[in-house]
Amino acid sequence: MNPQTRSFNGPYVVVGVMLLALAALTAWDASTMRIRAQYGVGANAASYVVATFMSVLGLAHFLGAFRQIEGSDEQTDWKAIGWIALALAGLVGAIWFGGGFILGSTLLFALTARAFGRKALIIDLLIGAAIALLVYLLFHGLLTLSLPVGPLERLL
C-alpha cells in the first residue's frame, strides 16, 4: 500500500478558477437583464441560482486541490479535453453562425461521445440529432420557449 502524500493538484485549481470566473460572469449577466418576471421566478433568478452552484463547485475544486492523495494521480487526458472543447466550440459556433439549436446540440453530443472514447461518429451524430430534435420540440412546442433557430428549425 502506498503511503499518503500531501500534494497540490494544479488542474483542480485551474478548473476552480474557471468555474468562479463563469459564476461571476453569469451573476453579472443576471444583474443586467432588463426583462423581469411579473409573477413568480424570472430568468435572472435562475441565472443567480446557476451562478451560486458554479461558485460552490469552484470552491469545492479548491478544497479538492489540497486533499490527501493515495499513490499517484491519474494523468490528465488532454485529447479528451480537446474533444470536449471542440464540442463546445461546435455548439457555440453553430448558434453564432445561424446553424441553430439542433445542429449545435448534435455536434455537442457526437463530439463529447468521441471524448469518452466512442468511435462511431455517424451513429453518434444521428443519436445526437434525434435527442436535439426531441429537446427542441419539447422546449419550443410544449413549453413555448424560444431556442436559437437555424435551417433545420425553420423546416419544422
Q: Does position 86 have pLDDT exceeding 80, yes or no?
A: yes
pLDDT, tens digit, 9 for 90 and up, residues 109-138: 999 999 999 999 999 999 999 999 999 998
Q: How far apart are CA 130 and CA 134, in angstroms?
A: 6
Report residue 1's pLDDT band, with 50, 70 and 90 as the boundaries: very low
Q: How far apart are CA 113 and CA 72, in angstroms?
A: 27
**Comparing 76 with 92, which gets the higher pLDDT?**
92
**Domain coordinates in residue numbering, the chain:** 4-70, 78-155
Q: Does position 154 have pLDDT exceeding 50, yes or no?
A: yes
pLDDT, tens digit, 9 for 90 and up, residues 9-66: 778 888 889 999 999 999 998 888 876 666 666 667 778 888 999 999 999 998 888 8
Report residue 72's pLDDT band, with 50, 70 and 90 as the boundaries: low
Given this model, what pLDDT does residue 64 score?
Answer: 85
pTM as predicted: 0.62
